């Protein structure tokens, strides 16, 4: 068997198969390669059959990449292998076993938006004001309870404040409502299999026999439920291999427990431990700088990573005045990288600690006509018009899903107002019927005329397509439904740009169902909805498109870029102020900084501002992050930058002190149509249109490669070609 592509440590880890295996895989050390070769090795050696392997990852993208790599090694189709995320594997278990908890197998999976909608309904029912507790906070608290396997009864025992008690009351009602709607949330996907396994040993035994070898990626990010799940499944054969890096444990805030990987040897005392220390991603300068920071943590296993890519360039450190100058500094450095090293836009990533930091960066990128994409913005499947289509599909699959019903009962508008829906809900409680079932007979609710007719028509429509589920494939059914409901017609007749986009998005969701059916011809609408429910931001990240990627450091986990800009490096922002007096939080913030640095393959720029505007006011006296100071000076070089802005401290009429910022006026060429010009990034081009003069001049330029850009002269740095 050809394992020559592996280094000695990787090879040894792959060949260890008769005991529990723990692999500490430092950043960029080839952990995915080890996992895929291990699956290949297990099958080729005949140790287990392909269907007896369970491989668990944290993103769909990682799962798909692993499948593809294994397929190449085996020269075989592995689509039926059990390789997926925790949530997708658990969803598969629940489709078969959830009846034991009183749910039907066509259950809906509620995302964050659905959860908040349900919580708002519950709060209204029990007369809890949104002013006393925010629905988003309630949702996060419920998720925390569930990640720690704390039920409402147990939570109430430790409730100290009135607000805690209110939240737990909502939590109890929320769980009841989920069951009434035949729906689960993401935490339930993990917790319910545990509940079933604990109460039905026969079912647990079935899956223990089915999966004789278990592999878990990113083990440092597992929470309590995930830990217990893999431990239970591995209990019979003790054939488990976990891979992770304690230095990249960054999800403690959502329940991940670093102790799971640090204590693995206690849970499986017979295990063999391997450490992968050859880094194949970053230069040695980046790697050594990152390690020098993370070594200040105490809860970790020491590693000595060494790059195979040579020393590389020093890390650039740029001090700026404020967030606007910081954004300009990013643009300036990016332009130099493109000009000097012939890079493309997708070579760059701009990272920040909080989403709010993107605003100034976006402004600067737009001014300079540089294409960018925010990872973590409004995702396609979260757009209103897309969720409306999904709402229809979810309701015809699961007519008990009242959140979807409420969403689409009056879209497109059919004269059914909120008061009418409330009447229907009250009647359903009174008659002990499903909300959907009371729609077919509005008479007892004294709903007559057009509204009554609309309710009956809506009920018939949904019932019709519910009965067609077994007769039409997913594509046929979705297109027929959208056509009959009139969603496309609704957006078509609005005749504005926003609704044109929504029209296109509805067509795109139909296309996505077509593509899904091409991949899985035997799949159903329910299968499609499940796949969509489990998608993440990173799954939609596309390296083939040419744009600068902007995202939070958390979103960057698992990705890599030739050049990384890490912005907002001030104490109080990164690390967050909440971490300054909390050791555990500070260590997680330090690990997050380590993750940020190790996303880079070739070059890192660290930027901080001395006066960043925070929460609508000026914050004075910002100091560089302690993490920057923890990097030895010999790994860094200071890069000076000064933007074309002047700042002056002035007093307002009320006596308040304010900083007045003004862009410095410089002289610009007065361009004319037909002028040949050169742009730092886009190269040579010809001016085809213009307006204004001096620094306010705007030009339309056609560049040599066919690219057309509208540019503001004062930002574009155009030069005439003589």
Active-site choice (141, 599, 626, 714) = 599
Active-site choice (10, 31, 357, 385) = 31
The helix (run of H) or strand (run of E) holding residue 673 is none
- Burial of 633-642, coded b for 16+ CB within 10 Å and e otherwise, reads eebbeebebe
- Burial of 592-621, coded b for 16+ CB within 10 Å and e otherwise, reads bbbbbbbbbbbbbbbbbbbbbeeeeeebee
Active site annotation includes 698: no
Cβ atoms of 70 and 81 closer than 8 Å: yes
Active-site choice (185, 188, 218, 530) = 218
Active site annotation includes 217: yes
CA distance 427 to 449: 18
Eight-state DSSP code of residue 221: G
DSSP string, 128-147: --TTTS-HHHHHHHHHHHHH
Active site annotation includes 79: no
Active-site choice (36, 226, 248, 285) = 248
Q: How far is CA 472 from CA 465, 479, 604, in A?
A: 9, 11, 53
Angle at CA 513, nearest 5°, toward 508 and 518?
A: 120
Active-site choice (11, 15, 32, 64) = 32
Region of 572 (left: φ > 0; alpha: ψ -120 to 50; beta: rest) is left
Give the closest residue to 397 by CA, choosing from 452, 505, 470. 470
CA distance 40 to 38: 5
Active-site choice (111, 185, 217, 388) = 217
CA distance 197 to 251: 26
Phi, psi of 548 (to 5 degrees): -75, 135
Q: How far is CA 251 from CA 222, 247, 555, 592, in A?
A: 9, 12, 11, 9
**Strand order, beta sheet including 272-276:** 82-85, 53-57, 213-216, 240-244, 21-25, 272-276
Q: How far is CA 605 from CA 178, 358, 602, in A?
A: 47, 16, 11
Cβ atoms of 591 and 290 closer than 8 Å: no
Cβ count within 10 A of residue 406: 20
CA distance 109 to 88: 11
Show the tokens assigned to 220: 């440092």
Diameter of the chain measured on Cα atoms: 84
**Strand order, beta sheet including 561-566:** 372-374, 548-552, 348-352, 561-566, 600-609, 315-320, 636-638
Phi, psi of 509 (to 5 degrees): -65, -35
CA distance 534 to 54: 18
CA distance 709 to 335: 16
Which pairs count as long-range contacts for 430-434, CB under 8 Å and 24+ apart, including other chains? 434/399, 434/400
CA distance 71 to 73: 5
Cβ atoms of 488 and 482 closer than 8 Å: yes
Active site annotation includes 67: no
Active site annotation includes 652: no
CA distance 49 to 78: 12
Strand partners, 402: none
Helices 474-485/525-533 angle, 10° precision: 80
Active site annotation includes 57: no
Three-class DSSP category at 401 = coil
Q: What are the residue numbers of the active site?
A: 31-32, 217-218, 248, 599
């Amino acid at each position: 068997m050809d394992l020559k592509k592996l280094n000695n440590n990787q090879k040894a880890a792959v060949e260890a198969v008769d005991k529990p295996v723990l692999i500490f895989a430092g950043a960029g050390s080839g952990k995915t390669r080890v996992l895929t070769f291990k699956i290949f090795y297990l099958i080729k050696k005949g140790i287990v059959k392909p269907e007896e392997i369970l491989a668990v990852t944290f993103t769909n993208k990682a799962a798909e990449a692993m499948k593809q790599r294994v397929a190449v090694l085996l020269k075989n189709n592995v689509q039926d292998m059990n390789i997926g995320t925790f949530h997708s594997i658990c969803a598969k278990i629940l489709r078969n076993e959830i009846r034991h908890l009183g749910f039907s197998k066509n259950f809906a999976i509620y995302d964050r938006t659905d959860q908040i909608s349900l919580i708002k309904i519950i709060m209204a029912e029990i007369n809890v004001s949104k002013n006393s507790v925010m629905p988003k906070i309630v949702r996060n608290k419920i998720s925390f309870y569930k990640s720690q396997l704390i039920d409402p009864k147990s939570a109430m025992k430790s409730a100290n404040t009135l607000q805690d008690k209110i939240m737990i009351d909502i939590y109890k009602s929320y769980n009841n409502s989920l069951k009434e709607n035949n729906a689960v949330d993401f935490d339930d996907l993990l917790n319910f299999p545990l509940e079933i396994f604990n109460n039905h040993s026969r079912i647990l035994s079935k899956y223990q026999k089915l999966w004789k070898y278990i592999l878990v990626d990113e083990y440092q990010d597992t929470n309590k439920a995930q830990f217990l799940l893999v431990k239970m499944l591995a209990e019979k054969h003790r054939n488990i291999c976990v891979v992770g890096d304690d230095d990249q444990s960054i999800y403690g805030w959502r329940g991940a427990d670093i102790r799971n990987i640090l204590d693995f040897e206690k849970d499986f005392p017979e295990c063999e431990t391997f450490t992968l220390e050859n880094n194949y991603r970053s230069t040695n300068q980046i790697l050594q700088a990152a390690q020098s920071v993370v070594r200040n943590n105490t809860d970790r296993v020491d590693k000595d990573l060494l790059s195979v890519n040579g020393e590389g360039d020093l890390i650039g450190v740029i001090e700026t005045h404020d967030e606007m100058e910081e954004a300009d500094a990013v643009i300036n450095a990016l332009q130099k990288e493109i000009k000097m090293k012939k890079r493309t836009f997708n070579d760059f990533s701009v990272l920040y600690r909080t989403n709010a930091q993107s605003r100034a960066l976006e402004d600067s990128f737009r001014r300079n006509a540089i294409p960018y994409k925010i990872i973590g913005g409004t995702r396609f499947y979260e757009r209103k018009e897309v969720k409306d289509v999904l709402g229809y599909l979810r309701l015809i699959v699961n007519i008990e899903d009242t959140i979807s019903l409420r969403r689409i009962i009056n879209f497109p508008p059919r004269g059914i107002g909120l008061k009418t829906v409330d009447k229907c809900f009250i009647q359903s409680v009174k008659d002990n019927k499903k909300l959907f079932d009371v729609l077919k007979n509005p008479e007892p609710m004294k709903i007559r005329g057009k509204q009554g007719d609309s309710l009956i028509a809506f009920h018939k429509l949904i019932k019709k397509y519910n009965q067609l589920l077994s007769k039409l494939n997913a594509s046929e059914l979705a297109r027929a439904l959208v056509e009959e409901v009139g969603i496309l017609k609704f957006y078509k007749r609005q005749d504005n740009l926003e609704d044109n986009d929504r029209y296109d998005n509805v067509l795109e969701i139909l296309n996505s169902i077509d593509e899904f059916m091409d991949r899985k011809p035997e799949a159903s609408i329910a299968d499609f909805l499940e796949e969509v429910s489990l998608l993440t931001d990173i799954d939609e990240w596309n390296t083939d498109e040419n744009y600068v990627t902007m995202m939070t450091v958390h979103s960057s986990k698992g990705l890599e870029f030739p050049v990384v800009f890490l912005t907002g490096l001030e104490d109080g922002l990164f690390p967050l102020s909440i971490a300054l007096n909390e050791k555990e939080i500070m260590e997680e913030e330090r690990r997050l900084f380590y993750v940020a640095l190790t996303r880079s393959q070739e070059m890192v720029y660290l930027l901080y501002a001395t006066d960043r505007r925070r929460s609508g006011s000026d914050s004075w006296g910002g100091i560089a992050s302690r993490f920057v100071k923890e990097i030895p000076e010999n790994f860094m070089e200071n890069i000076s930058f000064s933007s074309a802005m002047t700042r002056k401290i002035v007093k307002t009429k009320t006596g308040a002190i304010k900083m007045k910022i003004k862009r410095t006026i410089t002289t610009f060429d007065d361009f004319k149509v037909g002028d040949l010009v050169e742009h730092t990034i886009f190269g040579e081009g010809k001016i085809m249109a213009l307006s204004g003069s001096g620094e306010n001049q705007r030009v339309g330029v056609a560049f040599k490669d066919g690219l057309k850009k509208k540019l503001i002269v004062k930002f574009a740095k155009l030069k005439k070609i003589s």
